[in-house]
Every structure is written in structure tokens, then in C-alpha cells.
Structure 1
């Protein structure tokens, strides 16, 4: 986990880190999951990150497998929340893409004289569009910057 956190702090991809440390991408992936890698690989990673080898050689715990929100900065928490929101939106979109054609098929075979399936398409489509506008912050009136300012204001801190 420490390797992943350090890599993300630097803004590097796994491929970039592997190239800089002269390792395979698979080795970087194993290191990020806490699986065992060779001492030479650990030394290479420590040199690239400019940290002591003992920092990278910490035991891997189950808590490390998920990002611990208590130890995250504001930006890291916002990024994690944003990724979860995007994941939720794509899950919503996938459900929409599966259910609506199914409803049209049922409509076609059961009551072909009246196309009622347009109504769920319209209602759910409006909900999906609203979800997209919210997640992708098309109109960021109450976006993360506003949120941060309000939190700082409530805590009595100056920006």
C-alpha cells in the first residue's frame, strides 16, 4: 500500500514507476498489493521514491488494502469520493442500458398496441441525466471548492 500511496502522490502511473525503477509492471503491481518482491526490487523502488528501504518493507495489513480515509488529505478524500461517484453513475447507466431494452421487449410482445415503455425511458432518463450532471459537475454551484470554503469558514480558518 505504501508503494501505491507514494506513486499516487507523485502522480505516476504504474508503467512510469516500473520504467523509472527498471522493473516490470507486474512487480510494481505485486508491491502495491503487498505481495512479496525481491530485495533488489525494493531497493529500486526506495531509490526512485527517495525513501528509506524500511519504509517500503512495512508489513501489509488488511486495512492497507482499502484506502484509510482517516489518514487521507482533503484532496485525496475528494478524489476517492469522486471516483466512487463515477462508479455509481456507471452502475446506474449499466442498469438503465439493461432494463430499458428489456421493458421495450416486454411491451412489444405483451401490449404492442400501446407503447408504454417510453414512460419509464423518459422518467429514468431524466434521473440518469440529473445523476450525470451531478457527478461530472457540469454546473459546479456547490462543487468541491465551495464545500471546502464552507468547511474552512465553519472551522474559522482563513483560506
Structure 2
């Protein structure tokens, strides 16, 4: 993005920049699309644009970091939520198995494992419904309405 911006500020085409730098036009295209350039490529571009190499590297790094857009960030958060749910479910099964063993050896006549299983199981169920967006009472639409309400805007 930075290379493209610098190129367009000078009114150069990709072909013209390639001629000035001695690089291939495809290399210029790749760099403008976000592919990390080699040090040799960076040196050539910095010389043509008459800027320091570290300024160019910092600009390219910032461009790369800003490419993670909002939808990608939401997808990452959703996958992390699913992972959290499966971790929670695995711990639940493991702990209940330990409780069952304790119950069977300690007091087999009195079956008490169902009590924590039902309580914690309800929490697991709610967690799953929220993560998989089956039942999302306080979801993105609610958040949007609340933000608009606080800003005094009408939907």
C-alpha cells in the first residue's frame, strides 16, 4: 500500500517504477499487494523514492498489520470462542468422570454426581448456545442498537 501510494503521488505507472528500480513489473505488483519484499527490492525502492530504508520498512510493516480487517478479526474471535467452548466441555467431562469414580468408591449407595452434572451442564449448554449463536440475546444487533441509542441516533 505504501509503495503504491508513493508511486501514485509521483504519477508513475508500475512499469515506470520497475524501469527506475531495475525490478520486474511483477515484483512491483507483488509488493503493492502486500507480499513481503526482499532487502534488495527494498533498497532499490528506497533509493528511487529517496527515503530511508528503515522508513520504508516501517511503512510496509504498518501496512501489513492494518490489513487484518474487521471481518477477519471477528472470524478469529468466533473461532477462539468455539475453541473455548470445546475446552470447557472437555474439562466438564473430565471432572465429572473423576466425580463419578469418587462417588462409586466413596458412597455407592448414594448417587450424587447428577447434581454437579446438571448445574455445570446448564452452564455448558448456555455457553454452547452463545458460541454457536443459536440463542444470542445480547449479540451484535443488540450491541449496535445500544451504541446508536447512546449516541442519540435513530436506526
TM-score (norm 1): 0.52
- Report the number of matched residues: 103
User: Any gaps of 5 or more consecutive residues in structure 2?
Assistant: 1-25, 39-60
SS at match of 1:113: coil
Deviations 1:90-148 (A, max 9, x none): 10001011111111111101111101111111111111111112212222332123323
Q: Residues of 1 paired with 2:153 and 2:74: CA distance? A: 19
Q: Is the 8 A contact 2:129 2:136 kept in 1?
A: no
Q: Residues of 2 paired with 1:71 and 1:115: CA distance? A: 56
Deviations 1:63-106 (A, max 9, x none): x9xxx6x7643333322221121111110001011111111111
SS at match of 1:57: coil
Q: Residues of 1 paired with 2:152 and 2:71: CA distance? A: 20
**Could you say if the C-alpha distance between residues 56 and 137 of structure 1 is closer, same or farther in structure 2, counting changes exceeding 3 Å?**
same
Q: Residues of 2 paired with 1:155 and 1:58: CA distance? A: 44
TM-score (norm 2): 0.53
Q: Is the 8 A contact 1:78 1:144 kept in 2?
A: no
User: Any gaps of 5 or more consecutive residues in structure 1?
Assistant: 1-42
Larger Rg over CA atoms: 2
1:150 and 2:146 are equivalent in the alignment? yes
Aligned to 1:132: 128
1:53 shift after superposition:
1.8
